[in-house]
Amino acid sequence: MQTKQSTIIGTFQRIDALTVFLYALLVFMGWFNIYAAVLNENSTGIFDVSYKYGKQLIWMIAAFVLAVSILIIDSKFYSFFAYPVYIFILLLLLLVIFMPQTKGQSSWFALGDLKMQPAEFAKITTALVLAKYMSGYNVKLTQWHNVIRIIGIIALPILLILLQPDVGTALIFGAFLLVLYREGMPGWMLALVVYSILLFVFSFIFGSFQVVLVVGAVLLLVSIFLAYYQKNSFRIFIPALLSFALPWLIVYWFSLEISEYLVFLVGFILLFVPLIMYSYRKKIMSFLIVFLVGFGSVSFSYGVDHIFHSILEAHHRTRINVLFGLESDPQGVEFNVIQSKIAIGSGGFTGKGYLQGTQTKHDFVPEQSTDFIFCTVGEEWGFLGVLVVIAIFLFLLLRLIFLAERQRSTFSRIYGYSVASIFFLHIMVNIGMTVGLMPVIGIPLPFFSYGGSSLWAFTILLFIFIKLDSDRDLLIF
């Protein structure tokens, strides 16, 4: 019978050394770049805990302790306690809303210099619960009750994070769509997500009413086509079409001040209700599908418009408008990105040299040790350094996918893909926003950005999977 000591030794012998090496390499590279980002003439050394790089070293030591602790704990712990920890984090997300705001957000619990952001850890617990639920007996993504429960698991933390409000972190939960698609989500659901994203973008650029008119016209043509080719359907379609036009005629004839959405909604119902009743009686589902797509498109587009003007903060609206070229703000929102581009571009092919970055040293780039840490890489290491960093991140992502595919348990595989997807979205969005391809939404670069919460959260997220992988031949849940 194995002793506890021999079990622990066996765990350390079975862990994937390459993944651990990539983790340590990225953490130390991040630390050196934080040092370069905040270095000034008053600095006494890289170990000075009165500066960010000294504090980051403390977070790193704590992260290494966390990593070792995770490897010692029994693998089944992460499956058994997935739901309780998930509920605990949800409670923290609820409580943090009532904390004092920092930069317009109430996202942290603060104890002196130590700040803890529960949203970072919510990604871990959501990944665990998603893996726990989807690895259950006979859970299929083709069954609606399973889909609704999975949406609920992902949506709960998103809603609480949006109340802080922290739009950037909430968007990261979109990474779980990649996991669901890998685990058998039907292609039409993914197509619906892509359609929703396009509708979301076009609603911002052209306005919800214009988008609704285009969508309505397209669906109207589709309906006419369907009615024409369905025997005896065209005779009911003509009066339904006249019913759709009736509310618009009344509003414009009497100059009534009524929301276009309400008019469109009433007309839409008058158009499709008789068609749905007819198609239900004749067992023709085409009209019902068209109605659902149309009604959902209208509601979604106007919902985007409402969120944009009534829920998002002014700086979020400005960032989105700047991203889509609808607004210019070079001294405000665009300032960060402009300075970041200048810093990266000034690095040239080989960079200015470590600790020689002038844009970095003179604090031209705001948040250069956190959200915009990547511009330090571009300025001091140049194009070659950027390629090396991206290559290491890409290698880590590919390694995680490889490890996920070799898992024997469904729980471990789903959790592994969740880890890879979360890392992928963080890397893509953070690097994208430093070069102006993504909106500035405050997403840290894994292992590079300064901060204890993000470093600990990424460490826990990764090492739980490393632990599960080390026991892949022993786990059957």
pLDDT, one tens digit per residue, over 284-336 is 566 667 667 776 777 777 777 777 766 666 766 776 666 666 666 666 666 77
- Of 218, 266, 223, 270, nearest to 243 by C-alpha is 270
Burial class (CB in 10 A: 0-12, 13-18, 19+), 139: middle
Q: Report the distance separating Cα 364 and Cα 344, nearest Å.
A: 12
Q: What pLDDT score does 142 carry?
A: 76
Cβ–Cβ under 8 Å, residues 440 and 316: no
pLDDT, one tens digit per residue, over 219-238 is 667 666 666 666 555 555 56
Is residue 104 left, alpha or beta, with left meaning phi > 0 and alpha meaning psi from -120 to 50? left
* Cβ contacts of 111 within 8 Å, gap of 6 or more: none
Q: What pLDDT score does 271 carry?
A: 67
pLDDT, one tens digit per residue, over 93-151 is 998 888 776 665 667 777 666 778 888 999 999 999 999 999 887 888 778 888 889 98
Q: Report the distance separating Cα 287 and Cα 265, nearest Å.
A: 16
